[in-house]
């Protein structure tokens, strides 16, 4: 692996005080719209997603999601990342889709945090109620660079999602945690497991296929929920639209 972002920014977290102005119910975050290979005029196509607002401590860690940037293959901890406190504080190159963010582990942490939270929020909105995780903990742990492998998985035993990375055909690293489809797919496994615990115990060959098919459908449709993707498809860069 080449450059790794290991800088640890100063911790600026403080608990909300009584006289603080009320926080808006949602906040916006920049994510990669589909994956780093989908580009527009040389820049990665980015999207803005709206999430339930919450205070995050370095990790980042919130009420429902905790990023644990530990690489089990290399036995290396990449540190607790502190995300920008607001959308306006995000580095400009994140929003512009500068290809440098492929190696920016702090951005990777934001990308997985935002997509997992967005998927959870979508399910809760559709169901009209809160959803727990199947393992009885209120936080799911996410390893954005958890293993050197071209794979990603959900593990109820590890109470989390593990995203692998591998060497791409061009020789550069490929991070599965930067793929919208992969992150939403794995999150859906966790949510479906929370809704139907026994579905992970195959009683016939179709049961595992249902888990995979359902996770794929949610991943595919959630990509098309992004206006940036729809606009990109309807108006290709350089095309007449």
Q: How far is the CB of 218 from Zn ion (least distance, A)?
A: 11
Site string for Zn ion, 167-206 (x = CB under 5 A): ----------------------------------------
Task: In whole angstroms, give the CA distance from residue 207 to residue 37.
Answer: 33
Sign of CA pseudo-dihedral 230, 218, 87, 43? negative
Q: Are 96 and 74 in contact (CB under 8 A)?
A: no
Structural element, H or E, at residue 54: none
Question: Residues in contact with Zn ion, total (CB under 5 A)?
Answer: 2
Pattern of binders to Zn ion over 209-228, x per CB under 5 A?
Answer: ---x--x-------------
User: Of the two residues 29 and 152, which places its CB atom closer to Zn ion in the complex?
Assistant: 152
Residue 101 vs 218, nearer CB to Zn ion: 218
Q: Specify which residues 166 forms β-bridges with.
A: 174
Q: Which is nearer to Zn ion, 112 or 215 (CB)?
A: 215
Shortest CB 98 distance to Zn ion, Å: 31
Among 214, 147, 226, residue whose Cα is nearest residue 187: 214
Strands 160-167 vs 140-148: parallel, antiparallel or unpaired: parallel
Nearest distance from C-beta of residue 210 to Zn ion, angstroms: 11
CB 46, CB 31: distance < 8 Å: yes
Instruction: Kindly indicate which of the ranges 111-119, 140-148, 175-183, 207-215 contains the residues binding Zn ion, using the contact rule CB under 5 A.
Output: 207-215
Quote the strand ranges of 84-137, DSSP E: none
Q: Which is nearer to Zn ion, 45 or 223 (CB)?
A: 223
CB of 153 to Zn ion, least distance (A): 8
State how far the Cα of 84 lies from the Cα of 56, in Å rounded to an integer: 10
Binding site for Zn ion (CB under 5 A): 212, 215
């Amino acid at each position: 692996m080449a450059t790794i972002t290991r800088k640890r920014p100063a911790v600026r977290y403080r608990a909300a005080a009584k006289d603080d102005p009320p926080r808006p119910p949602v906040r916006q975050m920049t994510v990669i719209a589909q994956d780093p290979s989908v580009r527009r005029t040389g820049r990665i196509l980015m999207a803005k997603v709206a999430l339930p607002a919450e205070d995050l401590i370095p990790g980042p860690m919130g009420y429902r999601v905790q990023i644990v940037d530990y690489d089990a293959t290399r036995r290396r901890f990449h540190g607790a990342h502190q995300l920008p406190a607001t959308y306006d504080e995000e580095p400009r190159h994140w929003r512009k889709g500068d290809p440098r963010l492929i190696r920016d582990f702090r951005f990777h942490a934001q990308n997985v945090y935002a997509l997992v939270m967005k998927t959870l929020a979508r399910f809760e909105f559709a169901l009209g109620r809160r959803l727990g995780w199947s393992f009885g903990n209120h936080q799911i742990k996410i390893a954005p660079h958890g293993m050197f492998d071209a794979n990603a998985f959900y593990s109820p035993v590890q109470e989390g999602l593990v995203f692998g990375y591998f060497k791409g055909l061009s020789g550069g690293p490929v991070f599965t945690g930067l793929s919208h489809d992969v992150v939403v797919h794995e999150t859906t496994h966790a949510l479906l497991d929370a809704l139907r615990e026994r579905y992970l115990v195959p009683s016939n060959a179709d049961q595992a296929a249902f888990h995979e098919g359902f996770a794929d459908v949610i991943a595919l449709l959630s990509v098309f929920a992004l206006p940036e993707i729809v606009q990109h498809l309807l108006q290709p860069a350089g095309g007449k639209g």
